[in-house]
């Protein structure tokens, strides 16, 4: 590690970002580089980030990383620590979108969805957490989705992976808080990334679901490239929140995310209210 890198990392954060070649990952890398921070930008094709590395070669390290391969995760994290001495912020961002009814989604597609957006994110978190806990400092940023709380026809597998990561992250936050490590779950709504385009996997359609999942497919095609969310602004908010002394557990992004989450919470509250008497009647009767 060069002396210049030592001086740089002493006054800036070191970020480790998965899925950095496009979308939120790319926007976050661009934002933290602009702020003077250091970043390990990982992607299956890191050459897509060569322009950023050229702008700040002393602060940007590129790493080829398929997060579903544990050996690559270990190697990338080790290389980051060797280069910069630590990882202050982990951003688990790698993912894709998948659209299909539960019946339309085959076993392999379902398992691939969970593997990338749940198991791989957990494995990367564990690998980085070893270093953060030892230093008693660090922030783990999980890029989930408004679909981490809400659902929609055709998005069952996607939402299942995001729900699972949110549940684990909520438990994780309580576990690591005494060790000086923070967890931030970011829940974006519809942002103008490739998730509705090149990064989308469509399952074969069944006529039985034309009215529900078919309508969602049409909405996705019409929305692609027209989403109201600006990834650059989202990256700026994420970096701002990470810089605060305290972070919330959840950070919705986009007015649509706020509206949808509030609507979902209202539905849950209504179901609880409607079922409360039945729920409370299931205990053992008090002895006379």
| Chain segment 133-160, per-residue pLDDT in tens | 999 999 999 999 999 999 999 999 999 9
Give the other-Cβ count within 10 Å of 192's Cβ.
Answer: 18
| Chain segment 63-83, per-residue pLDDT in tens | 999 999 999 999 999 999 999
Q: Examine the pLDDT at 182 and tell me if it is beyond 70.
A: yes
| Chain segment 82-137, per-residue pLDDT in tens | 999 999 999 999 988 899 999 999 999 999 999 999 999 999 999 999 999 999 99
pLDDT of residue 262: 98
Give the mean model confidence (pLDDT) for residues 239-259: 96
Q: What is the pTM of this model?
A: 0.91
CA distance 186 to 149: 11
pLDDT class for 286, splitting at 50, 70, 90? confident
For the chain, give the number of residues. Answer: 288
Give the catalytic positions in this structure.
Answer: 158
CA distance 267 to 282: 23
* Burial group, residue 178, by CB count within 10 angstroms (0-12, 13-18, 19+): exposed
Nearest Cα to Cα of residue 88 among 242, 235, 223: 242
% of the chain beyond a pLDDT of 70? 92
Q: Examine the pLDDT at 277 and tell me if it is beyond 60.
A: yes
Q: What is the mean pLDDT of the chain?
A: 91
Contact at 8 Å (CB) between 9 and 85? yes
pLDDT of residue 52: 84
Nearest Cα to Cα of residue 19 among 118, 72, 94, 91: 94
| Chain segment 40-61, per-residue pLDDT in tens | 999 988 888 898 889 899 999 9
Alpha carbons within 13 angstroms on the beta-carbon side of residue 94 total: 32
pLDDT of residue 233: 92
Most distant CA atoms of the chain, gap in Å: 79
pLDDT of residue 178: 98
186 forms bridges with which residues in the sheet? Answer: 143, 251
pLDDT of residue 288: 62
pLDDT of residue 228: 65
């Amino acid at each position: 590690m060069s002396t210049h890198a030592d001086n740089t990392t002493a006054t800036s954060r070191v970020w480790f970002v998965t899925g950095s070649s496009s979308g939120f990952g790319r926007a976050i890398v661009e934002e933290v580089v602009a702020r003077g921070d250091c970043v390990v930008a990982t992607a299956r094709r890191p050459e897509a980030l060569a322009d950023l590395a050229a702008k700040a070669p002393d602060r940007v390290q590129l790493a080829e990383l398929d997060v579903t391969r544990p050996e690559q995760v270990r190697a990338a994290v080790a290389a980051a620590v060797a280069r910069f001495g630590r990882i202050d912020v982990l951003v688990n961002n790698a993912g894709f979108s998948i659209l299909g009814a539960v019946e339309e989604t085959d076993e392999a597609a379902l398992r691939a969805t969970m593997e990338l957006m749940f198991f791989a994110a957990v494995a990367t978190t564990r690998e980085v957490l070893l270093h953060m806990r030892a230093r008693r400092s660090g922030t783990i940023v999980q890029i989930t989705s408004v679909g981490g709380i809400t659902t929609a026809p055709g998005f069952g597998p996607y939402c299942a992976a995001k729900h699972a990561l949110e549940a684990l992250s909520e438990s994780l936050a309580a576990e690591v808080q005494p060790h000086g490590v923070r967890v931030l779950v970011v829940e974006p709504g519809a942002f103008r990334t490739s998730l509705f385009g090149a990064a989308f996997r469509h399952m074969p359609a069944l006529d039985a679901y034309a009215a529900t999942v078919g309508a969602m497919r049409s909405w996705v095609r019409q929305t692609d490239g027209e989403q109201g969310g600006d990834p650059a602004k989202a990256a700026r908010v994420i970096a701002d929140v990470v810089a605060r002394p305290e972070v919330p557990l959840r950070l919705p992004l986009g007015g649509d995310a706020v509206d949808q989450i509030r609507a979902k919470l209202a539905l849950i509250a209504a179901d609880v209210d409607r079922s409360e008497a039945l729920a409370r009647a299931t205990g053992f009767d008090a002895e006379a």
